[in-house]
């Protein structure tokens, strides 16, 4: 999975994780955002929360990282997203410890 995962921050913490995952999936599937097929989306608790998005292909993750100014629109509010590479891959045990 190396090179296929990006870390995303900047979405509203008060949204339920499943709704965040849905919104991020829609955003990062869109070709106009540099997106493509997604293998997995994991929303991790924390302050601030973050999400890990694993793409089917490493080149999609690289395209996502090259796009400046990812903005997630939820209702009439726009949230600027911080998208960074994620080097380590998560095991299911790490997700549960969150």
Every domain of the chain and the residues it spans: 5-83
**Fold held by 5-83:** Alpha-Beta Plaits (3.30.70)
Are residues 52 and 7 in contact, defined by beta-carbon separation less than 8 angstroms? yes
DSSP symbols for 9-49: E-S-TTS-HHHHHHHHHHHHH-GGGT---EEEEEEE-SSS-
On average, the pLDDT of the chain sits at: 89
Residue 47: band (very low, low, confident or very high) from pLDDT cuts 50, 70, 90: confident
Per-residue pLDDT tens digits for 50-81: 999 999 999 999 999 999 899 999 999 999 99
Task: Report the alpha-carbon distance of residue 6 to residue 15 in Å, rounded.
Answer: 20
């Amino acid at each position: 999975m190396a090179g296929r995962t990006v870390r995303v921050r900047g979405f509203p913490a008060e949204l339920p994780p499943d709704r965040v995952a849905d919104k991020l999936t829609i955003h990062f599937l869109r070709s106009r955002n540099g997106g493509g097929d997604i293998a997995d989306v994991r929303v991790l608790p924390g302050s601030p929360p973050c999400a890990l998005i694993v793409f089917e292909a490493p080149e999609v993750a690289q395209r996502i990282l090259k796009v400046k100014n990812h903005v997630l629109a939820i209702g009439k509010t726009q949230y600027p997203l911080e998208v960074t590479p994620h080097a380590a891959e998560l095991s299911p045990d790490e997700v549960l410890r969150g």
